[in-house]
Structure 1
Amino acid sequence: MSRSKPLFHALALCAALAACSSTPAAVSTDAPAPTGYLRGDALPDSLALSPPPPAAGTAWAALDDAVAAQALTLRDSPRFRQAHIDADLGFPDGAQQFSCALGIPVDERHTPVLMRLLQRSLIDASAATRAAKTHYQRPRPFMVNGQPTCTPEQEDHLRGSGSYPSGHTAIGWTWALILSEIAPERATALLQRGRNYGHSRLVCNVHWYSDVQQGQAMAAATVARLHDDPQFGADLLLAQREVEAVRKLGLPLPRDCATEAEALKIEIPEAR
């Protein structure tokens, strides 16, 4: 593969992730831009499926505030550093976010079908949150509490992107659900990773608890619609066979899974 192709994929996905954080990249024209599986009405309507975010003075808003305050106590901890790692959705590196839970490396050499499936479903999950994010334009926690995030380089962009629902959470939970179908024997680990992937957005101080909850809901809606798409179904089967074959090779993982596991054991303290 040419050296410019990963750079191109990163840019193409950043464009698709207007609802999430992004990092500009240079343009390459040696490959077509990845696209999602879903088109038009096939995309879940997040504005119809998402109730308004919690109003000030309600119990739900108080819960959001309490969780955000407790998440701030993890700043400068290993969990905070993991939240920074989890914020990266650019490809090809973004495909490795679930490699420890899946138990195999995810890359273009060994799992090209799975890479394509993750890229395309990422675009769908991100697009599924966009209508509600744009409509509600909810300020993010760091804009309210004045505290730093785990991705200071992205804060200017995030100020212009609504907080509700969480796009990163929708993507992470979409991946967790899909990967659990591909490797059902690792479903528990994959779903745990999907849960703490969303919680990384709380630790990062860029999303409220209700943003994360609704991000998971939009992920479930996205996966339900994906199962009605023939190309997704075909790719899902191919990816399952691909993962089974790669697992037999016993390849080393590209991440420090022990360090990741220890960091992810750190939970946001209960609100007092």
Structure 2
Amino acid sequence: MKIENLVKTIDHKIILNDINLTLNQGEITGLIGRNGSGKTTFFRLLAGHYEFDKGMIFINHEDIQTNKLLKQKIFYIDEQYNFLSGYTLNKLLEFYQNAYAGFDKEKYLHLTKANELKPTFKYGSMSKGMQGLYKIILAICSNADYLLLDEPLDGLDLIVKKNILGILLDDVSENNRSITISSHNLNELESIIDRALILKRNQIKLDYHLEALRENARKIQMVFKTKKVPAFIKENSRLLHIQGRVVTAIFENYTETLELAIQNEYPILFEELPLTLEDLFEVNLAHDVTNYSLQGESL
């Protein structure tokens, strides 16, 4: 899926501006941003729940606005406007079979039976964990190429989370889907995603492929003889914390030349620490202020 110059305004406020990216099949992408940054709006635009003001979305080089059948290749359940509550699982099966021509009924029956989700269960009466599991089963069995999952693990217990993550990872490896997940739990996200998109000030500001990031980036804790941080460190890193003389910095392109320059300052302490997704969130978004408000609507 290729997204070009996507723009969305709501109530005369720019929510998303000039979004350009490609979502690749066989890849799990994490969408990261502060509350109100536009993550849900982004999903609604891709799924066709919102009309966008400008831009184009292509699947296999075809415009989804022109070829409406391409929307069957996208799966998304909007949590705010969730219509599932009043229906039994049997009725929901009928609905999704009609909505997605490639719906895999055999897999659906296998997964619901294996997880003790009976056809007579009413979705609205199920626990939050079982609802989350059921939505993942619907997503996978839709056979859509692009799954958009908005906080799919929120509020679920450990056992249900492991079950859901196992189903998702198996499905990506078997079917080469593209999965985009937004989540506030960055530790959980880090364990499964290949790529992280940082949504900030209406735009995708950073696009990290985690494998490349882990090869090139370093998180270093240093103590120098004085409180002054050397200028070249400020120029080549993102400062995460400064507490007294203890400096913690993230170098996104850490080289032997940089390491030599640091050592030439004869630091009292020089220690490499594990670099996490939470570090990237903090260093990029901790001081970002979002002020979007649509009468309580999640953006």
Larger gyration radius, structure 1 or structure 2: 2
Higher strand share goes to which structure? Answer: 2
Higher helix share goes to which structure? Answer: 1
On whether the aligned pair clears a TM of 0.5, the verdict is: no
* Structure with the larger RCO, 1 or 2 (CA within 8 Å, 6+ apart): 1
Calculate the TM-score normalised by the size of structure 2: 0.23
Calculate the TM-score normalised by the size of structure 1: 0.25
